[in-house]
Structure 1
Amino acid sequence: MRAVVDHAPIAMIAVSVYRDGTLIEKAHTDDEGRYSAEVPEGELVTVRFDTHHSLTNAEDWHPSVVANVIVDDERPLDRFLLKRGHGVDSESTVDALSGYLFAAEWEDEDYARTAASRLSGLKQTSEVLQAIQRRLQDHFTAKS
């Protein structure tokens, strides 16, 4: 399993696995973008890919979340992350906003500081997505 952008691996991306809203496993990607996480086979989980406020890449990438997935050894779970400040399409924006929405429920003020900054660099043309982005920025700004 890997975290990648433009098919190049991304190191030090936090990979968090949740079951029923509870964190059950955490890992970080290596220099090849690979990670390994113990996930109960056949169980429904949510997997989040994000940076961590204490790392040097904290503001470089937008998060991604795969909700309600059953992971097995036959299907690796790779994600293509959106780099901050890069042009995006609607699908990439929705993916990043979903990652921030998920984080809004569980993360603290340290995360909120980098999230508000990263969100300011997310560009898209949809008024609906812009409204969601503004609400998330307000949430993380107030929390930080």
Structure 2
Amino acid sequence: MHGHVRSITGHEPIGMIKVSVYRPDLTLVDRVFTDDDGSYSVDVPVGETVTVRFDTHHSLNNADDWHPSLVTDMIAGGAVPLDRHLVSVGRFADTARGIDVLAAYLLASAVEGPEYAAHATTRLSQIKQNTLFLQHIQSALLQHFTERADA
């Protein structure tokens, strides 16, 4: 599996984005980081159903710059690239993008430790959702990560 990660607004490449691939039971298959031109390549068995999360890493200087993105139930294989566009922190997310971002945070809540939580709270507190329902989910995730960061 391969592709490019870019910004949603200017389509600039984003380096050092963690691309994590999970099986349906959330077992980690592999993870890689994008290079300076936003490209990545990860080995996934052809035909395997996976979930792919694009996110920052808490130890990097871009940890608070980008919201995550999620692709679920993807069948690995083929030559078609899996490209993603990420929303920068503090930007408006339309409804579809807001759902994508919150779903990625929800997955992160199941697989990441307390080191991740502090950066998640910083980013979640700055996303601008456009529906009350998404704002409610955002608030619940923010509370979860705040509690994890304080634990």
**TM-score (ref. length: structure 2):** 0.93
Contact 1:59 1:118 (C-alpha < 8 Å) held by counterparts: yes
1:47-126 to structure 2, matched below 5 A, reads: 47-126=52-131
Distance in 2 (CA, whole Å) between partners of 1:63 and 1:14 is: 9
- Whichever residue aligns with residue 11 of structure 1, its letter is G
Distance in 1 (CA, whole Å) between partners of 2:104 and 2:51 is: 11
Report the counterpart of residue 41 of structure 2 in structure 1.
Answer: 36
Kindly state the Cα deviation for residue 24 of structure 1 after the two structures are TM-superposed: 1.0
Structure 1, unmatched stretches of 5+, are none
Runs of 4 or more consecutive aligned structure 1 residues displaced over 4 Å after TM superposition:
none
Report the counterpart of residue 4 of structure 1 in structure 2.
Answer: 6
Q: Which of 12, 21, 24 is the matching residue for 2:26?
A: 21
Kindly state the Cα deviation for residue 108 of structure 1 after the two structures are TM-superposed: 0.6
Q: Which moved more, 1:34-43 or 1:65-74?
A: 65-74
**Number of residue pairs matched by the alignment:** 144
Structure 2, unmatched stretches of 5+, are none
Contact 1:71 1:77 (C-alpha < 8 Å) held by counterparts: no
- Whichever residue aligns with residue 16 of structure 1, its letter is S
Distance in 1 (CA, whole Å) between partners of 2:130 and 2:50 is: 32
Aligned identity (percent) is 50
Distance in 1 (CA, whole Å) between partners of 2:119 and 2:64 is: 6
- RMSD over equivalenced CA pairs, Å: 0.8
Report the counterpart of residue 133 of structure 1 in structure 2.
Answer: 138
Kindly state the Cα deviation for residue 8 of structure 1 after the two structures are TM-superposed: 1.3
Deviations 1:88-129 (A, max 9, x none): 211111111011000000111110000011000010120000
Deviations 1:51-88 (A, max 9, x none): 00000000000001101101223211111011001122
